[in-house]
């Protein structure tokens, strides 16, 4: 049983339901909103509740770029259609910004500044007073340079404002019948590179191919950290025995070498969000 499976038996407590009601009331007061939608657990829940409360006064905007896997974008579009919400897909070009591509620790700030600026422009043209993102309350304790961009541009984070954390969002997502309730955590592909390693389209493609291959083998929560010729695989520790089985191991080695990696390593610490932050002690998640 993986981490997300364990949430299935968790109880919806009165405290969680109270936060849920506060969220609905908060969105109701906003009247009309634009939601930055990635298709992940948090933004999917935010979008679902916004649509339930505000109906057609919701616009979902999906950002498509080389840092965002195509499959994730396509799944987000499908979910938006399922929720019967108006949806737009826009292109972002963060790789053209050297401040982003050079990959400093504050990389996310430059990415979010571009994204949120575009979303603000769309909202203004549509007469929408509020731009929302899916940040949750746990994000306040993480190293999140993108949060600074949101603050500077007036982007609001309703899940954070009402105090909802990831586990509660998963529980409530299941409660409202969202298929994303047990979806593995996902982060921008740029987070797979050590800081100050240049982020390039070909390297991003390598990571996307490698992670998709592992998922195709049945691994649930994966990261492939890119260290030049070395691919460092992070999976849940309970899946270690599976990955070192001879047949599985050989499939991975052959595929990863086709993707351009020479050495393939398994991180014995297992999957954890933000492992690229560890050398600089920047925070727990990314």
Residue 3 has pLDDT above 90, yes or no: no
Question: How far apart are the C-alpha atoms of 15 and 23, rounded to whole Å?
Answer: 12
Residue 2 has pLDDT above 50, yes or no: no
Q: What value does the mean pLDDT take over residues 64-92?
A: 95
Task: Considering the domain delimited by 189-280, tell me its CATH architecture.
Answer: 2-Layer Sandwich (3.30)
CATH topology of domain 3-182: Rossmann fold (3.40.50)
Candidates 169, 150, 140, 143; CA nearest to 43 is 169
- Those residues whose C-beta lies under 8 Å from the C-beta of residue 3, and which sit 6 or more positions away, are 221, 236
Q: Are 88 and 115 in contact (CB under 8 A)?
A: no
Residue 279 has pLDDT above 80, yes or no: no
11 pLDDT band, cuts 50/70/90, is confident
Write down the domain spans for the chain.
Answer: 3-182, 189-280
- Those residues whose C-beta lies under 8 Å from the C-beta of residue 258, and which sit 6 or more positions away, are none
For residue range 245-271, what is the model confidence (pLDDT) as tens digits? 999 999 999 999 999 999 999 999 999
Tokens describing residue 45 = 């829940």
Q: Are 53 and 28 in contact (CB under 8 A)?
A: yes
Residue written as token pair 């979902």: 60
Residue written as token pair 């999906």: 62
Residue 130 has pLDDT above 50, yes or no: yes
- For residue 155, how many other CB atoms are within 10 A of its CB? 24
Tokens describing residue 241 = 């025995």
142 pLDDT band, cuts 50/70/90, is low
For residue range 94-119, what is the model confidence (pLDDT) as tens digits? 999 999 999 999 999 999 999 999 99
pLDDT averaged over the chain? 92
Question: How far apart are the C-alpha atoms of 180 and 20, rounded to whole Å?
Answer: 17
Residue 76 has pLDDT above 60, yes or no: yes
At 10 the pLDDT is: 61
What percent of the chain clears pLDDT 70, i.e. is strictly above it?
Answer: 92
Candidates 198, 235, 25, 209; CA nearest to 107 is 198
At 6 the pLDDT is: 38
Residue 7 has pLDDT above 50, yes or no: no
Q: What value does the mean pLDDT take over residues 153-174?
A: 97
For 230-252, the DSSP string reads EEEEE--GGGHHHHTSHHHHHHH
Residue 172 has pLDDT above 80, yes or no: yes
Q: What value does the mean pLDDT take over residues 276-283?
A: 66
Q: For the sheet containing 263-266, what is the strand order?
A: 223-227, 230-234, 263-266
Residue 282 has pLDDT above 70, yes or no: no
Q: What value does the mean pLDDT take over residues 124-146?
A: 88
55 three-state secondary structure: coil
Tokens describing residue 122 = 């769309």
Residue 286 has pLDDT above 70, yes or no: no
At 56 the pLDDT is: 97
25 pLDDT band, cuts 50/70/90, is very high
Question: How far apart are the C-alpha atoms of 109 and 124, rounded to whole Å?
Answer: 22
């Amino acid at each position: 049983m993986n981490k997300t499976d364990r949430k299935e038996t968790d109880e919806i407590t009165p405290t969680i339901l109270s936060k849920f009601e506060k969220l609905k009331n908060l969105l109701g007061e906003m009247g009309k909103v634009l939601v930055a939608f990635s298709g992940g657990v948090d933004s999917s829940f935010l979008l679902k509740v916004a649509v339930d409360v505000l109906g057609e006064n919701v616009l979902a905007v999906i950002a498509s770029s080389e840092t965002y896997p195509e499959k994730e974008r396509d799944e987000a579009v499908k979910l938006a259609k399922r929720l019967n919400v108006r949806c737009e897909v826009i292109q972002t070009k963060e790789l053209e910004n050297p401040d982003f591509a050079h990959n400093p620790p504050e990389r996310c700030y430059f990415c979010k500044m571009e994204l949120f600026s575009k979303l603000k422009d769309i909202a203004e043209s549509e007469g929408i007073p509020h731009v929302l993102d899916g940040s949750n309350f746990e994000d306040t304790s993480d190293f999140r340079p993108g949060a600074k961009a949101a603050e500077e541009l007036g982007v609001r984070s309703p899940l954070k404002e009402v105090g909802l954390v990831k586990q509660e969002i998963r529980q409530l997502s299941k409660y409202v019948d969202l298929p994303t309730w047990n979806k593995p955590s996902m982060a921008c592909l740029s987070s797979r590179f050590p800081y100050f390693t240049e982020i390039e389209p070909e390297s991003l493609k390598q990571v996307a191919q490698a992670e998709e291959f592992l998922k195709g083998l049945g691994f649930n929560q994966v990261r492939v950290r890119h260290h030049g010729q070395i691919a460092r695989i992070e999976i849940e520790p309970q899946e270690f025995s599976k990955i070192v089985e001879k047949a599985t191991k050989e499939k991975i080695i052959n595929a990863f070498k086709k993707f351009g990696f020479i050495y393939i390593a398994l991180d014995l610490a297992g999957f954890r969000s933000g492992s690229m932050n560890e050398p600089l002690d920047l925070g727990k998640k990314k």
